[in-house]
Structure 1
Amino acid sequence: MLASFLLLTAAFHTLLAAGVLLHARRQGRPAGKWIALTLAFGLGGVAGYLLAD
């Protein structure tokens, strides 16, 4: 049960990080640290990316 939860969480965070990367490339913004933060913190990383300059 725990392994399934961790796998789904990792997959979701990976999808979010890919979304941040695609958005950054389309907008001409640097994604750099936001990819790592999104992989680690999920929606918190996405929120930080969107609220940053």
Structure 2
Amino acid sequence: MESASFLLATALANVGFAVFVVAHGALTDRETGNWPYVTLVLGLAGVAGYFFYDGDDGAA
């Protein structure tokens, strides 16, 4: 696979992941915060962060 094809496929996948994060947040009334932007840059790592990161730091 040529590097240009690889970069295009990666960019398209990351856009798809970001759209998924936004759609999931809208459907579940969950605050997405900056996770769509993080997902655009990091791809699957951003999706994992969105699902597993708990923004509550325990402060009352």
With the length of structure 2 as denominator, give the TM-score of the two structures. Answer: 0.83
The equivalent residue for 2:6 is: 5
Q: How does 1:1-53 map to 2 (within 5 A)?
A: 1-53=2-54
Runs (4 or more) in structure 1 with deviation over 3 Å come to none
**Bigger-Rg structure (1/2):** 2
With the length of structure 1 as denominator, give the TM-score of the two structures. Answer: 0.93
- Give the superposed CA RMSD: 0.8
Report the residue type matching 1:22 in the other structure.
A
Identify the structure with the greater helix proportion: 1
Displacement of 1:32 after TM fit?
2.6
Higher relative contact order (Cα pairs below 8 Å, separated by 6+ residues): 1
Unaligned runs of 5+ in 2: 55-60
